[in-house]
């Protein structure tokens, strides 16, 4: 109860503080001559946001780049030595391969499932549509740590002959198989794909909501024209609907790709990066807190930033291009 009260007080205090800040700045500007009021008023509202971005994003980013050029304890300048060591690190190379698999699998499957649900839900009654979409979207309300804990129980293993509390092993043993330590099976990177399913479960609802809105925005005239021309529903979907929502699909894909590049919670909670499941972001946590290698950890962050920037730029350009149509 005390934590709940503290959370509510923090929310009320934050909102109240922001309201008081803008009210005070606006009142101060309104006392100036009209010419200066007109010049300064836009900065009254955008200024605090720009300051917050500078303090909490720009400065830490620059500081991280600087720290990546220093030794483990940040006392000695070593140039690009941290980057060279990371390039030779086989564990990091394995993490990069895992990240590439995550990038290929998670966005593709999440968008495919989201698109499938969006299309199917659009063909049922409004009440069933709301219900089905709510069920699919519900995991979005769960944190990655919470979702990882839930799925860790699903993959749980118990010795043969004892009750299997893990859902997957319960089904597997009911079919006659032996209980498996699923998260330790690195053959064909099975355990990594099992971890990817957690993020797919979380992001399918996000993809569904955006794609459903895009599908509902497709003009009915184009669909009717396609039906009159003799196109069946499959042809209408691939040749009429998909081209018109292509920009939304790209935006959803790139947004999930950015999330995948940053994901570490799932790996950290379930396997800790062991059994060949490590990813780049979790490697940063390992270097920082386990090995106390601040320079190498900062270098990993810089590499992640560099990898994320092109995807973000492409995402923004695609979004703007879609809005301009």
Q: Please tell me the predicted confidence (pLDDT) of residue 260.
A: 93
Span between the terminal Cα atoms of the chain, in Å: 51
Decide: residue 282, CB within 10 A, 0-12 exposed, 13-18 middle, 19+ buried: buried
Q: Which fold has domain 82-324?
A: MetI-like fold (1.10.3720)
At residue 77, the 3 state secondary structure works out as: strand
What are 75-131's pLDDT values in tens digits? 899 999 999 999 999 999 999 999 999 999 999 999 999 999 998 888 877 888 888
* Total H helices, total E strands in the chain: 16, 0
What are 4-56's pLDDT values in tens digits? 888 888 888 888 888 888 899 888 888 888 888 888 888 888 888 899 899 99
Residue 179 has pLDDT above 80, yes or no: yes
Q: Please tell me the predicted confidence (pLDDT) of residue 209.
A: 92
């Amino acid at each position: 109860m005390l934590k709940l009260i503290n959370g509510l007080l923090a929310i009320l205090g934050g909102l109240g503080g922001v309201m008081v800040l803008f009210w005070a700045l606006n009142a101060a500007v309104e006392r100036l001559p009209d010419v200066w009021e007109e010049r300064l008023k836009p900065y009254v509202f955008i200024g605090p946001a720009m300051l917050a971005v500078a303090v909490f994003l720009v400065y830490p980013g620059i500081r991280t780049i600087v720290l990546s050029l220093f030794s483990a304890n940040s006392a000695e300048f070593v140039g690009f030595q941290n980057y060279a060591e990371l390039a030779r690190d086989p564990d990091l190379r394995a993490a990069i391969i895992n990240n590439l698999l995550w990038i290929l699998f998670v966005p593709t499957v999440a968008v495919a499932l989201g698109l499938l649900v969006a299309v199917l839900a659009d063909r049922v009654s409004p009440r069933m549509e709301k219900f089905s979409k709510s069920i699919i979207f519900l995991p979005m309300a769960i944190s990655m740590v919470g979702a990882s804990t839930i799925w860790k129980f699903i993959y749980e293993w118990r010795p043969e002959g004892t009750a299997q509390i893990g859902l997957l092993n319960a089904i597997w043993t009911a079919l006659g198989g032996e209980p498996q330590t699923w998260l330790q099976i690195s053959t064909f990177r099975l355990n990594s794909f099992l971890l990817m399913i957690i993020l797919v479960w979380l992001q399918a609802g996000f993809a569904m909501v955006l794609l459903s809105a895009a599908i509902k925005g497709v003009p009915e005239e184009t669909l009717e024209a396609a039906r009159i021309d003799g196109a069946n529903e499959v042809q209408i979907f691939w040749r009429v609907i998909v081209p018109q929502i292509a920009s939304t699909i790209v935006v959803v894909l790139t947004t999930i790709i950015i999330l995948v590049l940053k994901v570490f919670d799932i790996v950290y909670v379930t396997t800790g990066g062991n059994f060949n499941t490590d990813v780049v972001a979790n490697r940063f946590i390992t270097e920082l807190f386990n090995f106390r290698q601040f320079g190498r950890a900062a270098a990993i962050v810089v590499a992640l930033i560099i990898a994320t920037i092109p995807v973000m730029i492409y995402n923004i350009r695609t979004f703007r291009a879609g809005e301009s149509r």
